[in-house]
Chain A
Amino acid sequence: KAGVTQTPRYLIKTRGQQVTLSCSPISGHRSVSWYQQTPGQGLQFLFEYFSETQRNKGNFPGRFSGRQFSNSRSEMNVSTLELGDSALYLCASSWGLAADNEQFFGPGTRLTVL
């Protein structure tokens, strides 16, 4: 079956702009989690959505938000971009909650903020 897909794969934005990233999970998976990966901070948890509800949230400012649709597809939005938001954004889907199940990662969206 098809894996997790993320669009776009690459993005270049300038400070102050906003961006929306999209994630399509594996068919049948109800949980989608988002992570930020940077060389300095490693893999940082942003949030987890399960059946359209935000289940868990990481320690990121309110500029980072997300949502999940009834078909389990998820979007992540970052408003008022800062240079420090440059990172690889990964989404991962799992059949149930991430803590109990293996997560399947998408290829990521590489965001560069100039």
Chain B
Amino acid sequence: DTGVSQDPRHKITKRGQNVTFRCDPISEHNRLYWYRQTLGQGPEFLTYFQNEAQLEKSRLLSDRFSAERPKGSFSTLEIQRTEQGDSAMYLCASSSFSSSGGEQFFGPGTRLTVL
């Protein structure tokens, strides 16, 4: 399968712990996006990379959140000192520069539960 993959699929952690998620985009895609989806809501944009450069960050991305894409391939999203409000599905998507109309391809998501 050459789609977007995310790891882990599920993460349960205690409040105050740090967690890190990984996203592997479609191999030829140079753009990578992170979204957060809470129950009953549509996904909300968090941040966007073009190659290794982080070009846009939402105000939803507090200073406890950090994302990296060190070699322009896979990306990691880290949440420090997790809070119960961080419980959500974290989605990764990728697209190519040449993709017409900005179509993004989504991974299956990482479901985070903070106890």
Q: Does B associate with A?
A: no
A residues apposed to B, CB below 8 Å: none
